[in-house]
Amino acid sequence: MTNELSLDHVRLTNRPLIVCDIDEVVLEFLTPFRDFLRASGRDLLPRSFRLHGNIVLIESGETVADDLVSALQEEFFLRQADWQTPAALAVETLAGLAQEADIVFLTAMPPRHAAVRRALLDRFSLHYPLVATEDAKGLVVKRLHAGRKLPFAFIDDISHNLHSVREHAPDCLLVNLMINADFRPLAPDPGKGVTKARDWTDVAQIIRAHISR
Ligand SMILES: [Mg+2]
């Protein structure tokens, strides 16, 4: 439950707030996950916008069973530091935005993986506070912003996270960014009230136009 999720380590200043997803936004996820799969004779095919059903054995073309897909994803997160790297211009753009806004990372992963992720982010000088939770992102964003009269923005690749924030924090600027170019065309349209960004340069322009109003 969100009530039990501690946000004590997140200290906000009296500036705009940018809440930012990690996988497929700040860090590459699908490309390194595909590379991780290929290292063990499997592959990820961009056939639809999901992992389950799209991981195959390279030799036979046979689709990997759903419970193994979940196990592979778990193993990848345990070993993420060996595989994941920042998306193009993510580090520089966030450093620029941090001059004018508070940045908080919000990643939808089991909290047991948070320490590995924290160390990985720090290695790339991404020292912004991290919240790792499987709670609805909208509830977390609402708690973080806490009704302050300051502009705030949320960046994510997944529509249901954007919609969760739209529901619980309707004043929040919603930005859709997905780094992987193979899966991006397969993603469902995020719909009304969500601004699509092509890359981090685009994200910076969209957010600056919002927070400098
Ligand atoms: Mg993501």
Q: How far is the CA of 57 from the centre of ligand 1 (A)?
A: 25
Kindly indicate the confidence band of residue 4, based on its pLDDT and cuts at 50, 70 and 90. Answer: confident
Tens digits of residue pLDDT in 187-211:
999 999 999 999 999 999 999 999 9
Q: Residue 2's pLDDT is what?
A: 44
Q: How far is the CA of 102 from the centre of ligand 1 (A)?
A: 20
User: What are the structural domain ranges in the chain?
Assistant: 17-28+84-211, 30-82
Q: Which pair of tokens denotes residue 50?
A: 């999901």
What length is written for the chain? 213
Domain with residues 17-28+84-211, CATH architecture: 3-Layer(aba) Sandwich (3.40)
Q: How far is the CA of 60 from the centre of ligand 1 (A)?
A: 30
Tens digits of residue pLDDT in 153-193:
999 999 999 999 999 999 999 999 999 999 999 999 999 99
Q: State the pTM of this model.
A: 0.95
Q: How far is the CA of 157 from the centre of ligand 1 (A)?
A: 5
- Between the alpha carbon of residue 125 and those of residues 88, 94, 107, 128, the distances in Å are 14, 10, 17, 9
CA proximity to 93, closest of 2, 208, 200: 200
Q: How far is the CA of 155 from the centre of ligand 1 (A)?
A: 9
Q: How far is the CA of 200 from the centre of ligand 1 (A)?
A: 14
Q: How far is the CA of 10 from the centre of ligand 1 (A)?
A: 20
Whether residue 16 contacts residue 153, with contact meaning beta carbons closer than 8 Å, is answered with: yes
Q: How far is the CA of 4 from the centre of ligand 1 (A)?
A: 23
Kindly indicate the confidence band of residue 3, based on its pLDDT and cuts at 50, 70 and 90. Answer: low
Tens digits of residue pLDDT in 10-68:
999 999 999 999 999 999 999 999 999 999 999 999 999 999 999 999 999 999 999 99
By DSSP bridging, strand 173-176 and strand 152-156 are: parallel
What element of type H or E holds 107? strand 102-107
Kindly indicate the confidence band of residue 1, based on its pLDDT and cuts at 50, 70 and 90. Answer: very low
More reliable by pLDDT, 112 or 176: 176
Q: How far is the CA of 196 from the centre of ligand 1 (A)?
A: 14
CA proximity to 17, closest of 127, 180, 173: 173
